[in-house]
Chain A
Amino acid sequence: MHLHFLDPYQPRNSPVHALDARLKFVLTLAFILTVSLTPAGAWPVYILLLALVVSAEVLSGLGIGYVQKRALLALPFVLAALPVIFTLYGRPLFSLPIGGWTLTASVEGLERFVSVALKSWLSMQAAVVLAAATQFPELLQAMRAVGIPRLLVAMFGLMWRYLFVLVDEALRLMRARAARSAWGTEAGKRSGGSVAWRARVTGGMAGSLFLRAFERSDRIYVAMLARGYDGEVRALPLPPLRAAGWFLLAAGLTLFGLLLIFAYAFWG
């Protein structure tokens, strides 16, 4: 059994997919930084930023629906920002009497909440497009290009390579557990054993997973040695970025810069 669905990469024949991963990586990070720096209440700038990321979604052929579905993953976290509507002082908006207490929402509080939610939503979409339109190995090259240490990049690569192998193992363990759990999943019924016992069983499964990881890493190490590995992480040099690439990078960064100037000029 293979967990292809774990890999977010969606192969398409699109200009976004064809774009150099280094550019996508840097532009995505710059976009998220721009979103983060945009002040609360600069709604027009948020609209333009949304237009940019939605354009990327359209261009990439991923479809807006697909990206939105994945982008909503961060939604539950918005709860953390909800109280700020009531706790931030400012012009009162409305009051909610709860028992003996009165909660007063402020305009500033609502503005902050909406900006946090918007920022999160916009950033998430950009990250989803990056992950879905870029093969992870290319992303690893981009990470090398921006100066992330080779050892760490090698670690990311190894983790990604064995993620799917080990998740398969974990799923087999879970299936074996489920096959022997008489009342496992039925709603409304108490499952077998105490929480502590269930946790210990799960812990044992995790332990065996770690043990297999240890043993596998020994075999990988031997396979690396057999091909000359000497402890140093090596890689082929990256091809230079073409002129068009540099131009696109400069254009993107300039655009983000202009949007920020625009935002601070009016809403700073």
Chain B
Amino acid sequence: MLYSPAPMHIPDGFLSTMVAVILWVITIGVVGYALRRVGKDLGERQVPLMGVLAAAIFAGQMLNFTVAGGTSGHLMGAAIATILLGPWAAVIVLTTVVGVQALIFQDGGLLALGANIFNMGIIGVAVSYFVYRSVQKLSGGKTWGLYVGGFAAAWLSIVVAALAVALQLALSGTSPANIAVPAMGGIHMLIGIGEGLITVGALAFVHAARRDLLHIGEAAPTGGKAVWVGGLVIALLLAVLSPLASAHPDGLEWVAEQKGFLDTAQQPLYNLIPDYVFPGISNEALATIVAGIVGTLIVFGVALGLAFWRRRKTA
């Protein structure tokens, strides 16, 4: 199989509903703002450009190369998109890539899509932008700034996004922070090197062939400062928060447990329908058996119905 899912895409089931919904809300806000910005700042030429570049990033993710053993590096693309298009268009492009991956290839869940767009499209782009702009400023626009900035942006965006994934899993009570954070962080410090090298290679190619293209993303966009600050804050926050969470996993566990997310809603419901309303199935084992039978009947009924329907269609 050519298409291998990356550990960055969270499937459904791994995030608590509350974490997933909160991240959806943030994501909708940021992507909505980015859509307005792109509509205003960029020419109409950008619409096909963003769409095709999203496809190119997806295709680029197939160009993997062997790192060591069975692992291979491939592209997330947040850094290269940010450098080529600027932050707002990059958010849209990454949203498109991650969305299509979830909808078509089930790479990452649908309820978890808000979180996945947040991690790769928002954190990835903000961190990339912050790092790349900073290095560019330091280098005074020299070519080494392009490469060093590109590598650092790619590497850090991967690592920070991975830490975000780990924290979200911990916050959902799915994976303890003291295991998830070092595991995700450690793996992605390696994967990030691959991302960085590919990004630099791609930048070198574009620099040699069409230097003019590198200026699209260079012009400071409106709200560029806010993105820069956002990237800085996200990078710092996750760099500080993750080791902290890792050292005190119980803290996050406690949040996950206590805030319990649905406990409050459960109480009244529980009181509303006390056990004796259904005297026949108050016993849990019995309920399981009944559900099993009902479930089997549903499937059997559907299969029968389908067979009948098919026969009538062909008759």
At the interface, yes or no: B5 with Cβ under 8 Å from chain A? yes
Q: How far is the CB of A21 from chain B (nearest CB, A)?
A: 12
Q: Do the beta carbons of B66 and A121 come within 8 Å of each other?
A: no
A206 and B202 within 8 A (CB): yes
State whether the Cβ of A133 lies closer than 8 Å to any Cβ in chain B. no
A204 near B55: Cβ-Cβ < 8 Å: no
Q: Which of B47, B54, B107, B302 has the most CB of A within 10 A?
A: B47
A210 near B206 with CB under 8 A, answer yes
How many residues on chain B are close to A (CB under 8 Å)?
Answer: 109
- In the complex, which of the residues A74, A87, A265 contacts B269, with contact meaning CB atoms closer than 8 Å? A265
- For the complex, would chain B's binding face be called helix, strand, loop or mixed by DSSP majority? helix
The answer to whether the Cβ of B103 comes within 8 Å of any Cβ in the partner chain is yes
Contact B100 A58 (CB under 8 A): no
For A6, give its contact among B3, B109, B213, B265 (CB under 8 Å): B3
Q: Contacting chain B: which of A94-102, A167-175, A238-246?
A: A167-175
Complex Cα distance, B100 from A201, in Å, reads: 27
A32 within 8 A of partner (CB): yes
Residue from B44, B54, B104, B173 in contact with A158 in the complex, judged by beta carbons closer than 8 Å: B54
Given known pairs A166-B58, A220-B52, the reply for A37 and B106 (CB within 8 Å) is no
Q: CB distance B201 to A201 under 8 Å? A: yes
Closest chain A residue, CB of each to CB of B295: A51
Residues of the B chain whose Cβ atoms lie less than 8 Å from the Cβ of A61? 306
Chain B residue nearest in CB terms to A16: B306
In the bound complex, what is the Cα–Cα distance between A91 and B308 (angstroms)?
A: 50
| Closest partner residue, chain A, to B249 (CB atom) | A87
- Interface SS majority for chain A: helix
CA distance A231 to B42 in the complex (A): 10
Tell me the complex Cα distance, A191–B253, Å: 45
B204 touches A203 (CB 8 A): yes
A43 partner, pick from B11, B45, B63, B288, beta carbons under 8 A = B288
Q: Cβ of A152: which chain B residues have Cβ within 8 Å of it?
A: 31, 35, 92, 95-96
Interface status of B84 (Cβ within 8 A of chain A): yes
Query: Number of A residues contacting the other chain (C-beta, 8 Å)?
Result: 111
What is the CA–CA distance of A74 and B303 in the complex, to the nearest angstrom? 27
Whether the Cβ atoms of A268 and B47 lie closer than 8 Å is no
How far, in angstroms, from A12 to B302 measured CA to CA in the complex? 17
Smallest CB–CB gap between B78 and chain A, Å?
Answer: 14
For the complex, what is the distance from the CA of A119 to the CA of B105, rounded to whole Å? 18
Give residues in A with beta carbon < 8 Å to B: 6-8, 13-15, 28-29, 32-33, 35-37, 39, 43-45, 47-48, 50-52, 54-55, 58-59, 61, 70-71, 73-74, 76-77, 80-81, 83-84, 87-88, 112, 116-124, 127-128, 130-131, 136, 139, 149, 151-152, 154-163, 165-167, 169-171, 173-174, 191, 195-196, 198-214, 216-218, 220-221, 224, 229-231, 233, 261, 264-266, 268
A-B pairs with beta carbons under 8 Å apart, 29 shown: A15-B306, A36-B13, A37-B17, A44-B284, A83-B176, A84-B173, A87-B249, A118-B13, A119-B12, A119-B14, A124-B109, A131-B103, A151-B47, A152-B92, A159-B96, A174-B63, A191-B66, A196-B197, A201-B65, A203-B204, A204-B201, A204-B205, A206-B75, A216-B52, A217-B48, A217-B53, A261-B269, A264-B269, A268-B262
